[in-house]
Structure 1
Amino acid sequence: MASSSFTSLLIVLSISSCCIFYSTSAARDLAPKTNTEFMKTSCSATTYPKLCLTSLASQATAIQTSPKLMASAALSVTLSSAKSTSNLMLSLSHGHGMKPREVAAMRDCVEVLGDSVDELQRSISEMGNFKSSDYEMMISDVQTWVSAALTDESTCADGFAGNGLNGNLKTVVRGKIVTIAQLTSNALALINRYASVHG
């Protein structure tokens, strides 16, 4: 009788282990698909969905299905792009053979991009440190700062509009600024999405 009970117990344990293993592996198989679907859905709410997907694809596992982590990741990617472009422009502004108008446009752009970097850094810090009781104030501050960063980037791009600038220089710089502005726009849309889900 004891032997029979022991055999029954082994069978139950085997079935349980099998089921636990199956559900774990099934969850593992489904996770990447779920993460990817979440990213596609979230990015579809942005103005530049393709850029949204390509810029955040490598972070799908870390983001999982969290609107907050997605918004934070978008801010981090935007900040990184803004910093590298600002450094590039600072370096270019010291180059020889540039017209005074080009040097002035570069330096103005570096200055407003610096403001944009500060606003993005403050936003990331605020997103990481907020408490539930301060949620509405936090999200309002972040939305304000990211909107201001977008305005700064537009101001920079405007400085490279019109004639009187080296064609290649104008194309390269405007291309980089436009990309930052698009990333910022996407980050703002994802922050707004997070706000609507949280609210």
Structure 2
Amino acid sequence: MNKLIILDRDGVLNEDSDDYVKSVDEWIAIDGSAAAVGKLCQQGFEVAVATNQSGLARGYFSQADLDAMHHKMIALAAAEGGQFAHIAWCPHGPDDGCDCRKPLPGLIHQIEQALHIPAKGAWMVGDSIRDLEAGLAAGCRVALVRTGKGAKSEAKLAQHPQLADTPVFNNLSDFAEFITTV
């Protein structure tokens, strides 16, 4: 069994915002997400993050702001016995023509290279269709959480035949409970 779990960030680990999460103060953990990361790590999973951060290209926040948000995320997970094996982010805008912006699988490939773990058979957990599409493109099993944009995305699963059987969880805590009892 592949012990790699790749998480989207906004909407899975922290509250999402249509106005972008632009500062460490706006980065608000979803209840139970840090504990879920801790639980996964304690069960032997490698937990990584793959996140689109086009707010960098748009000038909404700086690299220092993003680093501060990630330091907060890392500290909260560490307080629950968890750690992130790797954090990959796409700094590009939607028209930049990169290969890392989800739904493309570039961020997942970066995680594979950094950790020397294949993504095939790993889990990609997200709150959007593009998260799931990126996971599928890299050979991952995919799961949707209803937090963030997940409830809206759940209604669209039927429009994507390749995603029709995607398991759906209320939040990352429910996913962690499922995966650690399988």
Q: Structure 2-normalised TM-score?
A: 0.27
Higher Cα radius of gyration: 1
**Which structure carries more strand by proportion?**
2
**Which structure carries more helix by proportion?**
1
Q: Structure 1-normalised TM-score?
A: 0.25
